[in-house]
Structure 1
């Protein structure tokens, strides 16, 4: 479950009469090292294999679950050693004895992701049986597959290829850094533009709300003033009507007094009476004026009107006639 190798370890030996050097590296997904430390340590394997490794062996236990980490192996290796590295790679399955009656081909074919990885390595794979360590044939078969791969590649993976890959990796790193900086600048620009746009929209919204509120307030004030103006006009109209009524009453009283005075003067002039003795009654005079319609004049008409008032509506005409006769007698007596 945990990584065993923490730094590159090189071993030499004779296999089938050939000198072989094997460099063991930390796992690509070491549990105790950072990704940067892993990459730096694995990179040493190239120089330990100078002038360059003939083959890269990607090792899996045959019974290991193929997870998301394992799917990333090709990308990680290409990032460290360049895009050509998979042409020099072979998948090596250990603990083949755990497969029991199942073959390694069946294991590969039943796992789509594992099959894709093997295909990326040119369909090159090999399996070791850990319970049959004395079986040297499995070692010889692996070396034979490596020889075939070298022949197909017209050589091995050289230090120069690694240097090119390293240089490319640095350039790629710088390119990504520039892209990241440009992305940040672009993002900052977009943030500023979006913020500015949102601020303008917010400002416009606030302005519209304030204008609507002001219009509403102006309409309210206008309506309030209109109501106040109507109330003021009503009050003014009431005051005017009251003043007119007062003036009218005064004028009526004044006209009535003048008329009464005029009638009094006329009465005295017509009767030639002593004003200190004769008492003027305007109501009698007005009634007498009505009696004059029967062509009676003078004091008799006035008394006739008075008699008509006492006699009531029915006897008004008769009273006027009688009053006329009485008036004629009185006028004769005074004359």
Structure 2
């Protein structure tokens, strides 16, 4: 992040009702960048069909709505894809925290109706809760992409969820108190574009209301912001003092940047440790689930084998009984 985030915004930005900061999270290929573009009303994030993902680092873009409301959207790479290293995830999450200076008003979990809800997405949500605490679910909204495909099949989102919704996804929607919306990122219909964004913003406002107007902020946000505030204060003192040469001012500014980078590095390391613990715990959970599933399969096979044997015994008994009846009739 360098020193780019140590600016006046850290001190003077406001968490007023006019600003909404949203972060997009989800698996590579689910349409995070396209969703960000739909929200902002312009193609500011790179978005195209790609198996490896187009977004390589966190990026913030903003727009001002007609009512004067500022909307900040942070797009992220596939932070919780199984193939991503924890070091990269830690750095990118620290970067997100730096961008969301006054906290996060909504976490948009982007899923696609074109693919089934996977273990990878379960892991992503588990990691989010581990990194930011259970209260992060109070800020989560699920955005389903692929609305054009459902429309082509004359289906609604409720039809899709009724037909395709696995139990883990039901649990996620329950955690979010059924805050979900469907996006068609391919539509050229301006009324449809406007309507889906308005539905999302109404959910964001609902999240803000339920959280008493407070965005999501944890100790990492506070630490970064407080560190930046102190450094800005020191820099103004140096700038306003006549006792420093231009060289000394430049040296002090560089020292501030180094201090800030060290703070970021420490926070990144903390996030990496948390993420590794979460990953280890998840791997153990998945291994236990696999063992339990194998045991169930073995038990089912045994049960099927026992049922097969019972059927064979019954068939033999019926056959013997039939032969006896035939013999008895022949004697008579």
TM-score after normalising by structure 2: 0.47
More helix per residue:
1
Instruction: Pick the structure with greater CA Rg.
Output: 1
TM-score after normalising by structure 1: 0.47
